[in-house]
Amino acid sequence: MKRTILFLMAMIKATAMVYDGGSQESGSQEASPQGGSAEEASSDGPQSGGVLVFARSGDSVGLDPARETDGESFYGSTQIFDNLVEFVPGTTEIRPALAESWDIADDGLTFTFHLREGVEFHDGTPFNAEAVKFSFDRQRNEDHPYFDLGPWKYWGYMSMSDIVDDIVVEDEYTVRFDLKKVEAPFLANLAMDFAAIVSPTAVAELGEDFKNNPVGTGPFSFVEWVKDDRIVVERNEDYWRRPAYLDRLVLRVIPDATARFLALQAGEVDVIDFPSPEDLEAMEADPDIELIQQPGLNVGYIAMNNDKEPFGDVLVRRAVNHAINKQDIIDAVFGSAGQPATNPIPPTMWSHNDDIDPYEYDPERARELLAEAGYPDGFETDLWAMPVSRPYFPDGRTVAEIAQANLAEVGIDAEIVSFDWGTYLDRTDSGEHEMALLGWTGDNGDPDNFLYVLLSSDAAEIPAGNIAFWRNDEFDTLIEEAKTTFDMDRRTELYMEAQEVFHDQAPWVPVANSVVTVPVRDTVRDFVIYPTGKRKFYDVWLDN
């Protein structure tokens, strides 16, 4: 019997707004005793024991969550680390984690966190306010002894140094964040991977190698990492909630989507990521496989590097938008699990501007615009294609090949370029590309996590989150104001205006928004998809 869970887009929009409504007042948020664990959700009762194998398309780049920006890395680190606050499973609503409660000053500039007592890191050292300060100061303070272990890309992408003025240890279990300005998404930012709390002792002992031997307080502790093969973690018996149900979790690398499906079908793995649309029908027909689905909080795009000619010309960028046949890409790569994108934020995100008309596929108009820009015969360029499957691009190579053919029709000769995943990210962050495929899954349920991180002028500084290297003062003004007000109506108005500027200036081709599908064996219980793209296995158990 199939178990297909489809969350309505409206529900996702609603949960994405919860934290904003709660954070505009000072006061405390209290933790529930178990934090909403699977014990409450399962009628049969969870069973402890067993090894779950999760097959994914690529390996992690590193396992220090503050250093990395990619989902494959976070798949590993999420199991090992905790944050002060976290998302309620399946939503973007904030709940307590390592912080039992918090107070927000009336002016919104001071957040005081009251920490959970008696928690230990996997190395046996105590979690306390000093560990919280250490975890953030190493990213923000250039004089910190471990600042040089960066780069701390996400700290920069989120402009956290422009937000956080100081972090003060008030006592062993109380830590205060003093802000330079009001930041509406601040609490949600602290639930993101870069804000995980690390063991200061382990960082001091391991130095650069901490990224390969992570130590946190999470429900699983690190065992081994065989590069390009597997990461193994085991249950933390002393976890501050209750121990996880699984004895061990293995994150296995199987690059080919159909090979992942065959391994699932054979019972060699229990959960797989990013199935091929061509395999979905066979999965639906298999009584031992269940499909869990949810509209994705994501966007896949083709970025045009505005620092490289001819993409500094808006006419060229508009021409490329008209040249790409998004529907052909959807049909070939996503099937029924995707739709053409219009804006830089997905339609499941609050403040998505539904009134913007997308650039139509119109090769003739593309040629006219190229001629107007001074390129009547087109030009040569490169088009970088990601080497791994991601929710926003299950098959980056095929997307690039279709786009290459579309561009050739209007005279643009694009050479496809690719690298291993870590190198691809580093080189696009550095702006070496002319055109590049990339995408994003929202980390905190806020439009700021797309518009500021991916498109602001600040994010165009190397290592860049804004790999289009597009800088626009009007756009920056709109999103900066939106960050500094808790008024949801005003924030929505500003973000909708910002999307209009983006559409007019066309720094990307927004290609697709996808439905996220996670196939599992029918013995897997209480697995939940997070809108933010997290894969968490704390509540998961095996019904063998």
Domain locations in the chain as residue ranges? 58-222, 298-516
Percent of the chain with pLDDT over 70: 92
- Band the pLDDT of 36: cuts 50, 70, 90: very low
DSSP per residue, 421-468? HHHHHHHHHTT--SEEEEEEE-SSS-THHHHHHHHSSGGGSSSPS-TT
> Strands 220-226 and 230-235: what pairing?
antiparallel
Class of domain 298-516 as given by CATH: alpha beta
Radius of gyration (C-alpha) of the chain in whole angstroms: 23
Distance spanning both ends of the chain, measured CA to CA: 16
**pTM of this prediction?**
0.77
Is the CB of residue 198 less than 8 Å from the CB of residue 215?
yes
Please classify residue 287 by burial: count the beta carbons closer than 10 Å to its beta carbon, then call 0-12 exposed, 13-18 middle and 19+ buried.
exposed
pLDDT mean over 14-29:
32
For the chain, helix, strand, coil in percent to 5 are 35, 20, 45
Q: Determine the Cα–Cα distance for residues 431 and 440; give it in Å rounded to an integer.
A: 17
* Statement: residue 2 has pLDDT above 90: no
- Band the pLDDT of 45: cuts 50, 70, 90: confident
* Statement: residue 450 has pLDDT above 50: yes
- Nearest alpha-carbon partner for 55 in 264, 355, 225: 264
Summarised one tens digit per residue, pLDDT across range 381-408 is 999 999 998 989 999 999 999 999 999 9
Q: Determine the Cα–Cα distance for residues 181 and 296; give it in Å rounded to an integer.
A: 31
Summarised one tens digit per residue, pLDDT across range 184-205 is 999 999 999 999 999 999 999 9
pLDDT mean over 406-427:
97
Class of domain 58-222 as given by CATH: alpha beta
Considering only residues 33 and 216, tell me which one the structure prediction assigns the higher pLDDT: 216
Q: Determine the Cα–Cα distance for residues 436 and 86; give it in Å rounded to an integer.
A: 32
* pLDDT for position 375: 98
Q: Determine the Cα–Cα distance for residues 180 and 163; give it in Å rounded to an integer.
A: 5
> Strands 524-525 and 248-253: what pairing?
unpaired
Is the CB of residue 269 less than 8 Å from the CB of residue 54?
yes
Percent of the chain with pLDDT over 90: 83
pLDDT mean over 140-150:
97
pLDDT mean over 244-250:
98
* pLDDT for position 144: 98
Q: Determine the Cα–Cα distance for residues 68 and 37; give it in Å rounded to an integer.
A: 28
* Statement: residue 26 has pLDDT above 70: no
* Statement: residue 28 has pLDDT above 60: no
- Nearest alpha-carbon partner for 414 in 374, 369, 384: 384
Stated as kind and residue range, the H or E segment containing 477 is helix 473-483
Is the CB of residue 101 less than 8 Å from the CB of residue 29?
yes
| Look-up of token digits 């599992």 | 520
- Band the pLDDT of 294: cuts 50, 70, 90: confident
- Nearest alpha-carbon partner for 236 in 216, 210, 213, 250: 216
Is the CB of residue 386 less than 8 Å from the CB of residue 438?
yes
Stated as kind and residue range, the H or E segment containing 494 is helix 488-505
Q: Determine the Cα–Cα distance for residues 121 and 247; give it in Å rounded to an integer.
A: 18
Q: Determine the Cα–Cα distance for residues 57 and 396; give it in Å rounded to an integer.
A: 12
In 84-235, where does DSSP find H-type helix?
A: 129-140, 153-157, 186-189, 200-206
Neighbouring C-beta atoms of residue 328, cutoff 10 Å: 15
* pLDDT for position 44: 66
* 3-state SS assignment for residue 110: strand
The gap from C-alpha 393 to its chain's centroid, in whole angstroms, comes to 13
Q: Which of 65-74, 198-207, 304-313 has the lowest mean pLDDT?
A: 65-74
* pLDDT for position 38: 35
Running DSSP on this structure, what letter comes out for residue 295?
E
| Look-up of token digits 């700021």 | 448
The gap from C-alpha 463 to its chain's centroid, in whole angstroms, comes to 17
